[in-house]
Amino acid sequence: MQIRSVGIDLGKTTFHLVALGDNGKVLLKKKFTQKQLIAFTANMQTCLIGMEACSGSHFLGRALREQGHDVKLIPAQFVKPFVKSNKNDFIDAEAIAEAVDRENMRFVPIKTDDQLDLQALHRVRDRLMARRTSLINQIRAFLLERGIVFAKSPIRLREALPEVLENVNENLTPRMRNLVAMLWSEWKDLELQIVQMNDEVERIASSDAACRRLLQIPGIGPLVATAIVASIGNGAAFRKGREFAAWLGLLPNQHSTGGKVRLYGISKRGNSYLRKILIHGARAVVLRSKRDRIAMGAWMTSLETRAPRNVLIVATAHKLARIAWAVLSTGQDYRAVPEALTV
C-alpha cells in the first residue's frame, strides 16, 4: 500500500485521517485522539501530510515533521473547492489530501514557538487596547447622562476624572460615583498592563536581528516589526513582495471579465491586525516625516498631487510591506534606493 498523500481534519479532541494512493483512491480512513494520531503516524511510512491552518495545526505540524513527514498547512478557503457533495470530517480530510498534492497550491509556513509567543503577545495587547476603548466610552456615557462632558481626547478625561470623583458638587449620586470610581480603577490597571506589553515588545524588537533590520525602514517601529516577524518569519512563504502585500489585502480587489479590467478598493483580506498597524505606520510617514530626508519622499509628494490622502497612505503601506519582505527574505539591512531609481 503506497500512500501518496494524507489529509488530516483537525478537531479539539478527535482527528480524522484519510490516505490517498497514487491513483487518488482512498486507501485508509481512521479516527484518532491526538495521542493516538501521533503514535500512528510515527509508525507510518513517511509521506506528504496536509492539514488546514487553524488552532493547533502548528503544534501538530512540528510534531509530524520531527517524525520525518513532509507536512504542509493549507488555508481553509483553498480546501473548500475540493470538498465533494455533503460535508463531514472524513470528506474534509479527503479534500485536504487532494489539495495538498496540487503543485500550485499555496501553503502556510509552520510557525516556531517564538513566533507563536510573539503572536500571542500582540493578540493580548490588542484585546487590552479594545477593552480600554470600551471602558473609556462607558465612562463618558455615564457622565454624559449626568451632564458632565469632556473633550474627545482620552487624555482630557483621564486628567479630569479624579477631580470629578472628588468634587461633591458634581451631579453624581453615591452609587454612580462608586461605579465610576471602580471603572477608573480598572482603567488604571489596564494602562499599566498595556505599558508592560509595550515594554516587552520593545525588548523583543531590540534583541531580535530580523526586527532590528525592519526598524531601519521609515514608518516601521517595534510594534510593526515584531508583528511582521511573528506573521511571516523570514518571508519564505512569498515569492516576491507583491505577494506579501496582496496577502495583507493592500492590493485592489479585482473583478475582471471579457477583457475588461475592473479594480475596486483594497481587498482587505489576510491579516487584518497587521494591515491596520502597517497603515498606521504609513500614516505617520506621510503626515510627520520630512520628505526631503527619506528615499520615497519625492514619490509621496508626486502621488499626493494626483490622489486623495487616504490613497497615498495605503499606497505607502503597500510600499513598506514590499520593502519589509525584501529585508526579511534577503537577510540584509535596509538600503534607501537613490530617488532617481525609484521614480
pLDDT for residue 91: 94
Question: Residue 164 corresponds to which cell in the numbers above?
Answer: 470629578
Its pTM stands at 0.88
Q: What is the DSSP letter of 337?
A: P
CA distance 228 to 211: 9
CA distance 297 to 1: 62
Cβ atoms of 48 and 6 closer than 8 Å: yes
Q: Residue 266 pairs with which residues in a beta bridge?
A: 252
**Phi, psi angle pair for 79, to nearest 5°:** -85, -30
Instruction: Find all residues with CB under 8 Å of 279, minimum gap 6, and list them.
Output: 313, 314, 317
Nearest CA to 224 among 232, 215, 216, 233? 215
| Helices of type H across 32-173 | 34-42, 57-66, 76-79, 89-100, 113-145, 154-166
All residue ranges of the chain with pLDDT < 70 are 1, 337-343
129-to-125, 135, 188 alpha-carbon distances in Å? 6, 10, 13
pLDDT for residue 337: 64
